[in-house]
Chain A
């Protein structure tokens, strides 16, 4: 059981590393999209204030686009079905995919975060808090976006549904990662923010696994 799971993770990572172009396109998309945000703000001093929102919105959309690639390909060439009839449990398939995707996101982030540091001219303290936020929130983000692409994997047209149905579930994530103080003034978020992100992860994990299992049972009909 345990060995099976590591086998799956190894397989996913190996396949992902062979398909390295997706990492390039992910990081290029990230840079270009944040640049577009920067250009759309006419006063550069605003960028310093809005850097969190820019980074997180771009990150969410790029993760969702990538996750579609991860699952649709497997569904279309039949390997998702193969994994299922070889006897791997749906949960382990889903977790292994999210681990591979998380690695895939974190590798370019190592190079992109210094870029953010330079682009948005933020302080070192802000940078550290951004990095910790990234580490804590991306696991839940990948789980949710894999779930979202599971929802739309059988749709041949109208792929935008994926964004419509799953974006509301990113709302708490966005609120607590960017810790919008104006939203919840009285609640002291600064200190508890990291704990809340961990808490959100422990809610997302079982819910996503349960829903993913239900969808994967349905997917081959």
Chain B
């Protein structure tokens, strides 16, 4: 299993959003998480990348518990969170080079230009990120996927703000990754489909705390 989430309990803002949650992502598999806003998709991604810690339960990447991996995290997965972490006063090229240096990948400029061509960004390479539109910014962060060498991709709402042409390109990119043995976990609030993918609908669990005064018998309940 590339990613394994085993009976996870997680609480946010007094609400239990994951109650005994399980998920398994195998090699060359695509899983699309579909759910309403606020159902906890981004929290699930933060949990599986180790930024948040679950109250109970284990999360494993490549059979290793996530909190025991420290230094090699960047070789295991590529995570594109909702905030794209691009600096507005740097150009497209500089942003990507900064990111590449952080994950220890050295490539030549020509190769970077090639990957920029995929989303037709090559003539924008010297523009500042602050001058780009929302969709163009999204494309820049999706270009990171072309450059990364990780097996596991974790994508938070990758199709937001993209035009139809780029959505199809991204789908093709994801399918290619699957064909090469990679696995993808992605979230969406719209009901979209990628061929060969498994779709999971998330619903928020029923609240465990009732309104009766006698139910405040643990400190957890009044937290």
Binding site for B on A (CB under 8 A): 1, 4, 7, 10-11, 14-15, 18-19, 73, 76-79, 81-87, 89, 220-221
Contacts and interface: CB of A to CB of B under 8 A. Distances in A.
Nearest to B50: A85
Nearest to B102: A86
Nearest 4 interchain pairs by C-beta: A78-B83, A87-B73, A78-B85, A79-B85
A10 B102 CA distance: 10
Contacts of A14: 98
Interface string B1-20: 00000000000100000000
A12 B112 CA distance: 22
B133 interface: no
A73 B83 CA distance: 12
A78 B84 contact: yes
Majority secondary structure, A binding face: helix
B73 A85 contact: yes
B98 A11 contact: yes
B72 A85 contact: no
Interface residues of B, number: 28
Contacts of B51: 81, 84-85, 220
Contacts, number: 63
A66 to B, nearest CB: 16
A169 to B, nearest CB: 28
B101 interface: yes
Given A11-B98, A220-B52, A87 B74 contact: yes
Contacts of A76: 83
Contacts of A84: 51
17 contacts: A11-B101, A18-B94, A77-B83, A77-B87, A78-B82, A79-B87, A81-B83, A82-B85, A83-B102, A85-B79, A87-B71, A87-B72, A87-B73, A87-B74, A89-B70, A220-B51, A221-B12
B71 A18 contact: no
Nearest to B69: A87
B81 interface: yes
A77 B79 CA distance: 15
A220 B42 CA distance: 11
Interface of B: 12, 46, 49-52, 69-74, 79, 81-90, 94, 98, 101-103
A86 B103 contact: yes
Contacts of B94: 18
Given A18-B90, A220-B51, A86 B85 contact: no
A133 to B, nearest CB: 33
Nearest to A89: B70
A72 B88 CA distance: 14
Contacts of A15: 87, 90, 98
Contacts of A83: 102
A78 B129 CA distance: 14
A1 B71 contact: yes
Given A78-B83, A81-B85, A87-B69, 6 more contacts: A10-B101, A77-B84, A77-B85, A78-B84, A220-B51, A221-B12
A79 B89 CA distance: 14
Contacts of A18: 87, 89-90, 94
Contacts of A87: 69-74
B12 A4 contact: no
B143 to A, nearest CB: 15
A156 to B, nearest CB: 15
A19 B89 CA distance: 7
A92 to B, nearest CB: 11
